[in-house]
Structure 1
Amino acid sequence: MGLTSNKVLVLTIVLAAALFVATVWVWPRLARRSWRSVGGRVGLLLATQLALLASLGIGANQAFGFYAGWADLFGRETEQGVVVDHSSGAGGGGPLQVLSTSPVPGVTGSGPRTAGRIQQVAIVGRGSRLASPAYVYLPPEYFQPRYRTRTFPAAVVLTGYPGTAQALVNRLNYPRTAQELAKDGRMQPMILVMLRPTVAPPRDTECVDVPGGPRTETFFAEDLPQAVLAHYRVGRRPGSWGVIGDSTGGYCALKLAMRHPDVYTAGAGLSPYYRAPIDPTTGDLFHGDRKLRDRADLWWLLKHAPAPDTSLLVTSSRVGEHNYRDTLRFIGRVKATGRTRISSIILDSGGHNFNTWRREIPPALQWISGRLGDR
């Protein structure tokens, strides 16, 4: 049973409840002062608390998508996603391979023309030599005969760190929200490419091309759009692509839009930060390369680099978010450029969590849809 399985959650809850009942039932028998009785009381209390913490931890992981599996939890995912290029001949595979197709969770409909579809895919980067799983949401219009010659705008959707791509589908409800908004006429039909920025697990590369390491920025700026364009009917001209993410994914979204406006004409950061951190999860991202460090610092880019012709959206909360003051300062800095466009969503209160982002995703999708063109 996997870490995100409902059976595991139910099992831990039942175990915690059983241990609690056993503790209450057996406690009078362990009331003596002998070392066996004391040891029994300590053991029961410890076992009950561990089971309770385990059930709470697994429940929180189910709600927020911190870890995808046991190997991810215990840090056993150590191999980088290095791939071999495939030939384009009859026996070769493309840069994007569809692994499975499923309905959109929470959407009623008998087929793809009315309910859309989600495809689980594997994306291989020919430039970065990185590979990543992802989920692609195709709206109902994609399958309808009257749209058979139409290309669709696309948005890359990124999780935080460590995050799971599945949480974007099942917890943050991006596909269902996009379909409901399009059905109500509040946004245009769009293709969503959902994945986590951790394409070289377990390392948090902050969407940086690490010297001698994973070339994550190259993967998102070049390989990913090329792979999607080769497989789906997505607009090829500037203005067809956007990127949105939360937390680490929010930082990546802003940086990709600022550094690659020719690819991403709009970037939305939900609860983002504005400078790549250096900590045990990232390791040494820059290897003493000051230019590389500066290019990963959004404050430096705003001050020293030419203002990009792109649109940015940032979100925060007056109470509950640590980035509130930085976000207001970032808005002011972007406005001062006179070229880069900036919008914001500021909530009265809201923490750094899924509940807050679920409140921000509908208006953020509407915003990004309004800035992408149907080419």
Structure 2
Amino acid sequence: MGLTSNKVLVLAMVIAAVLFVGTVWLWPRLAGQNWRAVSGRVGLLLGTQLAVFISVGLFANQAFGFYASWADLFGQENGQGVVVDHLAGGANSPIQVVATSKVIGASSTLPQVAGQVQKVDIIGRTTHLSTPAFVYLPPEYFQAKNSARKFPVSVVLTGYPGTAEALVNKLHYPSTAQQLARQGKMQPMILVMLRPTVAPPRDTECVDVPGGPQAETFFAKDLRESVMAHYRVDKTPASWGIAGDSTGGYCALKIAMHHPGSYAAAAGLSPYYKSPIDPTTGDLFHGNKNLQNRADLFWTLKHLPAPETSLLVTSSKVGEHNYKDTLKFIKAVQDTNVTRISSIILPSGGHNFNTWRREIPPMLQWMSERLVAH
């Protein structure tokens, strides 16, 4: 049974309940002072607390999508791949469709009516990185009258560690985009949904690590080229946006600021503005101060030419730790007089899915207004 299986969660909860009842029932019998009675009480308490802790952890993982599998949880994820082209001219497809499904809540299974979600493997030609992802194709993509139409694209990133499935099943990006398009509040748009961790289990913070994974190049170059080779999308940055929450929000802002020739707009939901260095990241910069400075968005705004791109940031007055930094970032962007900045500031809201679900609809509308359809 998988880590995110409902059966695993129910089993853990049943075990916790049985141990709790057992502790209450057996406690009077273990009231003695001998070593067996004391050991029994200690064992019951530890067992019950461990079972409750595991149940709460499994429930939290189900709700927030931190880890997708047992291997992911224990740092044994082996999703990174190396591309070897065997056909002349590099004819292998950079995107492999693994499975297809309908949009959650859709009444029809016909893609031209309800759109489609494709589970894919994306391969980076230059970085030799590969990663799983989900691609939402709107109903209009499959309609005969739009056979020559090219669609705008928004890349959507999770936080760290995060799972791409959470963007579909927990944050409801495809169903939200479809509903907004039907209401005329946004244009039909392709969503490419994945996590920023392209070299699991390492948190690369979307950095080109010296001698290591070239994560920034993957998102700025390889991802775009792979999607353009497989789907009907435009090559110009005016048709491309990138968004994300938490780590994904930081990555989205940074990539758009560093590569305005790739993305015309970026949205960071509860982002931070400087790459951390911790046990999950390892040494990202190998002593290269220029690379470290470049990963600081405040330093970028102050020392590098202002990028011609549109940015959106979100925070909450109560519940988010990035509120003060977000206000500083807004002011720093305004001072450039070149980069455009918008914001969503909630009265209250924590760093969680519930908060982001409140921000996603207006964010998608904002993104749609800034991308050009052809």
**TM bracket (short chain):** over 0.9
After superposition, residues 70-89 of structure 1 pair within 5 angstroms as: 70-77=70-77, 79=78, 81-89=80-88
Matched residues in 2 for 1:305 and 1:80: separation? 35
Q: Counterparts of 2:58 and 2:8 in 1: how far apart (Å)?
A: 8
1:88/1:94 contact within 8 Å kept: no
One-letter amino acid matched to 1:123: I
Q: Which residue of 1 aligns with 2:50?
A: 50
- What displacement does 1:89 show? 4.9
Equivalent residue letter for 2:219: F
Q: Once the two structures are superposed, what CA deviation does each residue of 1:174-212 show, in whole Å capped at 9, x if it has no partner?
A: 111101100111000000000000000111111110000
Paired-residue identity, %: 68
Output aligned runs, 1:272-283, within 5 Å: 272-283=271-282
| Corresponding position: 1:262 with 2:261 | yes
Distance in 1, Cα, partners of 2:152 & 2:118 = 17
Q: Distance in 2 between matches of 1:186 and 1:349?
A: 25
Mapped to 2, the partners of 1:227 and 1:112 lie a distance apart of 22
Give the AA of the match of 1:7: K
Aligned-partner residue type, residue 128 of structure 1: T
Would you identify which runs of 4 or more consecutive aligned residues in structure 1 move more than 6 Å?
none
Cα distance, 1:15 vs. partner? 0.7
RMSD, matched Cα: 1.3
Structure 2 match to 1:302: 301
Structure 1 counterpart of 2:257, which letter? M
Which range moved further: 152-161 or 230-239?
A: 230-239
Shift of 1:350: 0.6
The two structures have a TM-score, normalised by structure 2, of 0.98
1:85, CA displacement in angstroms?
3.2
Equivalences, count:
374
- Which residue in 1 is equivalent to 2:313? 314
User: Is 1:187 matched up with 2:172?
Assistant: no
- Residue 42 of structure 1 and its aligned partner are, at CA, apart by 1.2
Alignment check: 8 A CA contact 2:102 2:109 kept: no
Alignment of 1:1-375 (within 5 A): 1-77=1-77, 79=78, 81-89=80-88, 93-375=92-374
Q: Distance in 1 between matches of 2:250 and 2:84?
A: 30
Separation of aligned partners in 2, 1:199 and 1:91: 22
- Provide, for residues 258-310 of structure 1, a one-character-per-residue CA deviation record: whole Å limited to 9, x for no partner: 11111100000000011111111111111111221122111111001111110
CA distance 1:88–1:341, change in 2 (3 Å): farther
Task: Give the AA of the match of 1:173.
Answer: H
Deviations 1:288-335 (A, max 9, x none): 112211221111110011111100000000001111001001000101
Distance 2:93 2:87 in 1: 7
> 1:80, 1:359 → 2: CA distance?
31
Unaligned runs of 5+ in 1: none
TM-score (norm 1): 0.97
Instruction: Give the letter aligned to residue 72 of structure 2.
Output: D
Look up the equivalent residue of 1:84 and give its one-letter code: V
Structure 2 spans left out of the alignment, 5+ residues: none
Deviation at 1:93, TM superposition (A): 2.5
Deviation at 1:37, TM superposition (A): 1.4
Question: Using the alignment, how far apart are the partners of 2:125 and 2:220 within structure 1?
Answer: 12
Q: Distance in 1 between matches of 2:156 and 2:305?
A: 26
C-alpha distance in structure 2 between counterparts of 1:221 and 1:31, whole Å? 65
Equivalent-residue separation in structure 2 for 1:333 and 1:222 (angstroms): 27
Q: Match of 2:359, SS?
A: helix
Shift of 1:11: 0.5
